[in-house]
Amino acid sequence: MSDLPGIVITGASGRMGQMLMKTVLASDKARLVGAVERPGHDWIGRDAGAAMGGAAVGVTVTDDPLEAFAQAQAVIDFTAPAATTHFAELAAQARAVHVIGTTGLGPADLDRLEWAAHHAVIVRAGNMSLGVNLLVQLTKKVAAALDADWDIEVVEAHHRMKVDAPSGTALMLGAAAAEGRGTTLDHARVSGRDGITGARARGSIGFSAIRGGDIVGEHDVIFATEGERITLRHIATDRAIFARGALKAALWGQDKRPGQYDMLDVLGL
Ligand SMILES: NC(=O)C1=CN([C@@H]2O[C@H](COP(=O)(O)OP(=O)(O)OC[C@H]3O[C@@H](n4cnc5c(N)ncnc54)[C@H](O)[C@@H]3O)[C@@H](O)[C@H]2O)C=CC1
Ligand SMILES: O=C(O)C1=N[C@H](C(=O)O)C[C@H](O)C1
């Protein structure tokens, strides 16, 4: 039996779930030991590879996360907030590293993750790609260099199936801009303008979301002032960038102390 870290993928049939399983199966640094879907899903009981339309891989899709997590060194989870908070408690029980890509988590969800992080490693980021995490740091720097005469707007575009807005990435970028400016996003955030909104509040950070077709993920951070404008942009064309980052996080977390980490920790940025 291999001593490579064993990985469980939750939300196995999803857009990211399938990409994650393919990434782990192709890796020589980890092995796929489990695939979890929600109860009642038609993949339950099927071989994960065959369910994806390929060769059998010897991993049966299950709706019993605790049994799957008990055999794993890491759980990679791109699902939905209610599932992720439940999985955090189970991963903590199993002492497995929990890599969370799920977005749209609210304050109560984040409190539950805080509890779980007392017992196990959690790595969470609204975007696991190298490019976006670099853009986060660039955004912080640019915001720190410019005063509030420069208006900051974050514009994001995603596929028609995305259920949360603004995207997790947009919120990361907005938080970085706020930090660079010496404020918080709670204080500066303005989302979804509509109707007679009045003039823009000085120092605010605005968010706009586009949803359509199969857009993987596009983010602009716009710094606009009288007579000039700077745009920092990231365009994702392949979900493999998120899966590669998530697997890197799962391996990185193996020798870390319990607590919450993000991709800036993993990438050393
Ligand atoms: N942090 C990052 O780098 C990225 C984050 N995401 C986020 O990942 C999440 C998933 O995105 P997609 O894969 O596009 O969605 P999706 O809808 O294609 O997949 C979600 C999967 O989770 C499963 N699921 C839901 N509840 C479950 C439960 N209780 N137990 C087991 N499985 C459950 C669903 O059945 C579905 O297969 C979203 O929150 C999205 O914003 C997506 C891409 C990159
Ligand atoms: O739902 C998606 O697809 C994506 N979600 C993440 C987000 O909310 O930022 C990351 C990426 O942009 C794709």
In a shared domain, residues 247 and 159: no
Residue of 71, 53, 117 whose CA lies nearest to 62: 71
In a shared domain, residues 15 and 93: yes
pLDDT of residue 192: 87
- Domain limits at 114? 6-124+239-267
Is 102 annotated to bind ligand? Answer: yes
Q: What's the 193 CA to ligand 2 centre distance in angstroms?
A: 21
pLDDT of residue 2: 79
In a shared domain, residues 256 and 214: no
In a shared domain, residues 246 and 141: no
pLDDT of residue 54: 98
In a shared domain, residues 46 and 147: no
Q: Which two tokens stand for residue 5?
A: 């870290």
- Spell out, as residue ranges, where the chain has pLDDT lower than 50: none
Residue nearest (by alpha carbon) to ligand 2 atom 1: 162
pLDDT digits (tens, 9 = 90+) for 166-189: 999 999 999 999 999 999 999 999
pLDDT of residue 1: 57
Task: Count how many domains the chain has.
Answer: 2
Whether 39 is covered by a domain: the verdict is yes
ipTM: 0.99
pLDDT of residue 90: 98
Residue of 44, 125, 23, 110 whose CA lies nearest to 78: 125
pLDDT of residue 71: 95
Whether 224 is covered by a domain: the verdict is yes
pLDDT digits (tens, 9 = 90+) for 10-45: 999 999 999 999 999 999 999 999 999 999 999 999
Q: What's the 170 CA to ligand 2 centre distance in angstroms?
A: 9
Whether 137 is covered by a domain: the verdict is yes
In a shared domain, residues 138 and 222: yes
DSSP per-residue letters across 173-198: HHHHHHHHTTS-HHHHEEE---SS--
Alpha-carbon dihedral sign for residues 90, 93, 96, 99 = positive
